[in-house]
Amino acid sequence: MEPIRVGLVADPASPTTVARRMTDLTPPLAAAADSWIVELVSEPFTLGSEDVDVALERLRAHAEQNGWDLVIGVTELPLRDDDGRYLLAAIDPRRQSAVLSLPALGGFRVQSRARHAVRGLVDGMAEPASPEEQRLPLPGLSARGRVLLGMVLANRPWLLAAGLKSALVAALATGAVATIEPTVWSLASSLSGWRLVAATVASITIIIAWIVIDGRLWDRPDDDSLQARERSRLYNTSTLLTLTIGIVICYLALYVVNLAWALFVLDTSVMSESLGRTVEVGDLFVLTWFVASAATLGGALGTGLESDDAIRAATYSKREEERRARLADERA
């Protein structure tokens, strides 16, 4: 039997990375074909979460252009059907095309889950099947949460610091100077626990708001349709969660570095003499806590974002703008 030529069309960035590791797929033992020839094309083919049928049509055009027997698209966008259900995949047996949504895999073990899903889609389309289009919805009430988790983890919030290097350096410098200031010692020692917590929350919130405004990351619906509004809510929620995780990681790193600096340079006896009360090592942890919040605002707000790439990687709306631009260029 002739091998089946399978095309994988993947959105740029992480979907391409996932798809590239699936070009060695082999059919199950009970498959109709003895072998598969898997080829990869990396380019955007999706625009938004409501464009499932359009995506399937584009994928079939790729298959005809490349001589593939069937084609599967791998996208980082959430997919929804007409009833508003979130989808793992959409299949059009008539066109021998399917699209897989990576966020629907939940964010954990994405590579192995995607590999299993693609093998099942290929094997299913290779077998005789109903000509009607099929939708594979996510089960249960937690479908939206699963998709949202997949989107946030796909954004890799722990890498956000790459776009904030200059801001972090400024914050560290601000913290280093503030740590040795007696006025700061006095102010930190006078704050209660709830005020320190409020300062932490305020500093993180202000930085997140600054990044959203400066980077123009807030997504607005293209129209008044329910699908467009839901997509914007999902994008904005994933953006805020991604930024929150990333900024908290940066804040903790700033705290650790400032604490090490305080333990190295400060003498508790000198601080006790300056403050007129006994200062213990535990007070340095409180001091560092306050300095971390103050340095986050004083240092980070004084600088611009160093890398737009890291910010785009943290937001679906920015990457979708790029997809739209590239697709428009291709049509021109």
pLDDT of 269: 87
Question: Does residue 36 contact residue 92 with C-beta atoms inside 8 Å?
Answer: no
* Cα 180 to Cα 108: distance, rounded to the nearest angstrom: 44
What is the DSSP code string of 172-219? HHHHHHHHT-HHHHHHHHH--HHHHHHHHHHHHHHHHHHHHHHHT---
Residue 222's SS3 state is: coil
What's the angle, vertex CA 119, arms to CA 114 and CA 124, rounded to 5?
125
pLDDT of 315: 63
Per-residue pLDDT tens listing for the chain (332 residues): 678 899 999 988 788 999 999 988 887 765 555 688 899 999 887 655 546 888 888 888 889 999 999 999 998 888 888 778 889 999 988 888 999 999 999 878 889 999 999 988 988 887 655 556 688 888 766 888 889 998 888 878 887 776 677 777 888 888 888 888 888 888 888 888 899 999 999 999 988 888 888 777 888 887 787 777 888 888 889 889 988 998 898 899 889 998 998 888 888 888 888 888 888 888 889 899 999 988 888 766 655 555 555 566 556 655 655 655 665 565 55
Looking from the CA of 242 toward its CB, the CA atoms found within 13 Å total 31
* Cα 154 to Cα 148: distance, rounded to the nearest angstrom: 10
pLDDT of 89: 92
pLDDT of 211: 82
Contacts of 259 (CB under 8 A, 6+ apart): 284, 285, 288
pLDDT of 73: 93
Question: Mind listing the pLDDT tens digit for each residue in 289-332?
Answer: 999 988 888 766 655 555 555 566 556 655 655 655 665 565 55
What number of other Cβ atoms are within 10 A of residue 331's Cβ?
Answer: 6
pLDDT of 99: 92
Element (H, E) at 135: strand 134-137
